[in-house]
Amino acid sequence: MTGLRTLDPAARKSRTVKMLIQLVLGGLAGGAGMMLAMRGLEQGLGGRPEIDQVVAIGVGLIYSLMALFVGLGTLNPSTGSKLLNVADEDELRDDRGYLTMSALACLLVGLSLVALAVGGANGMIAPAGALAVLVLATVVMAVVWRRMQRTTDEFRRVVGAQASEVGMILILTVFGSWAALSHLAYAPMFTPLAFLAGCYGLILVAAYWVAWRRGMLQHP
């Protein structure tokens, strides 16, 4: 795939502007969403949230924002082609079905993490309510995953398998090392919520790493 150094000046400028717009919009939306979420969480809990709650909400917001941008992009390919990492409007239209399901999956992950973060005996949502959200999201995600497997091509299957492999290595490295240090009394043990949020966060890192290594983030 064509790299940045081989592009002509106009294409290089267009790609740079596009990347800057993505970073700025993502940063502003993420920052504003996190501030509002923390303010609402503090009011709902009557005090400062725990660090694992903050991490879970942060990761949940990232997934939710990804779903929002991708979902809006599929609804309006003209605008979406300028904001999303696609070559042009035609590619976005051709992948509309797959991207819509991906956006739905990301949204469900985000909602699940947020529900778990604010749920609990002393939380904003009763434990049964948070569990109901998690179970419903898991069932729907399973259905979405099955449909995605039927419509995806071989290249996406290979990329998905590689991302899963890298994600598993990251999870075992991070949480395995953490657990070992905790067992030896060198570090406190992570909470279940921190583990879930960390897994989803590392899976996202793995997906972007594999995409970058394969040149999938280098559309002009």
pLDDT digits (tens, 9 = 90+) for 56-96: 988 998 999 889 888 888 887 777 766 776 666 777 787 78
Q: Mean of the pLDDT values across residues 49-56?
A: 86
Cβ(59)–Cβ(197) below 8 Å: yes
Last residue of a domain, one of 152, 181, 211: 152
Residue 151 backbone phi and psi in degrees, to 5: -105, -15
pLDDT tier, 155 (very low <50, low <70, confident <90, very high otherwise)? confident
pLDDT digits (tens, 9 = 90+) for 93-119: 877 888 888 889 999 999 999 999 888
pLDDT exceeds 90 at position 157: no
Return d(Cα 104, Cα 93) in angstroms, integer.
17
Same domain, 88 and 121: yes
Give 85's contacts (C-beta < 8 A, 6+ positions apart). 22, 216, 217, 219
pTM for the structure as a whole: 0.79
DSSP 4: G
Rounded to the nearest 5 degrees, what angle is found at the Cα of 149, between the Cα atoms of 145 and 153?
140
Q: What is the pLDDT, as a whole number, of residue 9?
A: 52
Last residue of a domain, one of 152, 175, 198: 152
Out of 76-85, 115-124, 138-147, 179-188, least confident range: 76-85
Same domain, 34 and 104: yes
Q: Which residue in 219, 65, 88 sits closest to 79, CA to CA?
A: 88
pLDDT exceeds 60 at position 5: no
Is 3 among the domain residues?
Answer: no
